[in-house]
């Protein structure tokens, strides 16, 4: 909540990107009519910032939004593309490479980072840098810090009017939910208790639920060091659902189904959730629904994220796992640096 409000204030105080044309090099404040598409570059929790933007704001934005997670960049990027390069540290290898290529292609750049290579790149090409507060200990704890600046800058450029209202509603709901989570028997600890020592299977209803499900899966992986899996309605109804039919004697011992629900589901998706829960009743150890609260898509998405995050911490606590260190990921990164 404080993180979301602080990120909004920082982005509001950051200078707007300047439009730079491919011919005359003239510079002026970027406006919506200068932009044909938006690309968000990022990995992990930073990459999820783009997914949050698409799920909550994408249907209301005047141009398409693409999230790119990896090396390289889409070949359609040019001077009429607005690129958000998002990296908590500013040094994420894939994002730094992609940002450099996007800048070379003439894209209008906005960096969201604490500093690092992206910060240096922003200074070198005179691109806005939306900073990240020092008090956030690690990338996975900074979903608000990396996602909210995208909403604010999109509104300021004219691509998404009304973002400020949505952010305000999100802050209100996060404060309300945080107060609820202070009790001993809250929705997050109850979810962790139901999951126990089984593996979470997170299913999301539509875009908002899908992002929340992936976030929960990722947080279980990193915080609780726990295998977890995620998928989204309606896609899972066209493939994955078939995979639960042959090994129920095994899966009912080790998997717990978690559905992330919200008020903006298509009626047929809501019906699919009901049917899938019935179908999978015999092959799961249990099933739980987490239903979003709050006004507006952004508030409900971040509400689901907060509940899932706290449940992942409760799962770690139940097993005596320190949620902070991620040695296997640090070791992989170090090995890539050495080999490179």
pLDDT tens, position by position, 244-276:
988 889 999 999 999 999 999 999 999 999 999
Place of tokens 């896609």: 235
| Mean pLDDT, rounded, for 60-79 | 96
pLDDT at 82 over 80: yes
126 pLDDT tier (thresholds 50, 70, 90): very high
User: If you search the block for the tokens 């949505």, which residue do you land on?
Assistant: 166
Q: Are 248 and 185 in contact (CB under 8 A)?
A: no
pLDDT higher at 313 or 336: 313
8-state DSSP, 250: H
pLDDT at residue 339, as a whole number: 53
**Does the pLDDT at position 1 exceed 70?**
no
**pLDDT digits 0-9 by tens, 310-330:** 999 999 999 999 999 888 888
Domains of the chain plus CATH, in order, are 2-161 (3.40.50.10490), 187-318 (3.40.50.10490)
Average confidence score pLDDT of the chain: 94
Residues 6+ apart with CB under 8 A from 217: 200, 202, 228, 229, 230
Report the range of poorest mean pLDDT among 11-25, 205-219, 241-255, 270-284: 11-25
Taking CA atoms, 319 is separated from 223, 284, 315, in Å, by: 11, 22, 7
Q: Which of 326, 324, 336 is nearest to 94 (CA)?
A: 336
Length of the chain: 340
Cβ neighbourhood burial of 91 (10 Å; 0-12, 13-18, 19+):
middle
């Amino acid at each position: 909540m404080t993180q979301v409000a602080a990120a909004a204030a920082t982005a509001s105080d950051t200078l707007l990107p300047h439009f730079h044309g491919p011919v005359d090099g003239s510079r002026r404040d970027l406006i919506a009519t200068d932009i044909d598409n938006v690309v968000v570059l990022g990995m992990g929790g930073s990459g999820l910032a783009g997914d949050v933007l698409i799920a909550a704001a994408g249907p209301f934005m005047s141009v398409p939004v693409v999230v790119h997670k990896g090396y390289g960049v889409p070949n359609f990027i040019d001077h009429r593309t607005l690129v958000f390069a998002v990296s908590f540290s500013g040094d994420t290898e894939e994002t730094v490479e992609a940002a450099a290529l996007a800048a070379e292609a003439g894209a209008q750049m906005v960096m969201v980072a604490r500093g690092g290579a992206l910060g240096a790149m922003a200074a070198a090409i005179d691109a806005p840098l939306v900073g990240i507060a020092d008090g956030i200990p690690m990338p996975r704890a900074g979903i608000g810090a990396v996602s909210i600046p995208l909403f604010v800058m999109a509104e300021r450029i004219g691509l998404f009017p009304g973002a400020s209202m949505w952010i305000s509603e999100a802050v209100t709901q996060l404060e309300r939910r945080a107060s609820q989570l202070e009790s001993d028997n809250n929705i997050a600890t109850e979810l962790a208790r139901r999951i126990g020592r089984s593996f979470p299977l997170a299913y999301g209803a539509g875009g908002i639920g899908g992002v929340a499900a992936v976030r929960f899966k990722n947080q279980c992986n990193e915080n609780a060091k726990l295998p977890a899996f995620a998928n989204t309605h309606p896609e899972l109804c066209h493939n994955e659902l078939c995979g639960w039919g042959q090994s129920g004697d095994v899966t009912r011992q080790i998997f717990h189904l978690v559905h992330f629900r919200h008020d903006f589901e298509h009626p047929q998706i809501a019906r699919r959730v009901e049917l899938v829960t019935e179908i999978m009743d015999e092959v799961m150890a249990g099933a739980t629904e987490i239903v979003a609260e709050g006004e507006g898509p952004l508030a409900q998405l971040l509400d689901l994220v907060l509940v899932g995050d706290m449940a992942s911490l409760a799962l770690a606590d139940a097993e005596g796992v320190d949620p902070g260190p991620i040695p296997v990921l640090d070791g992989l990164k170090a090995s890539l640096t050495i080999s490179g």
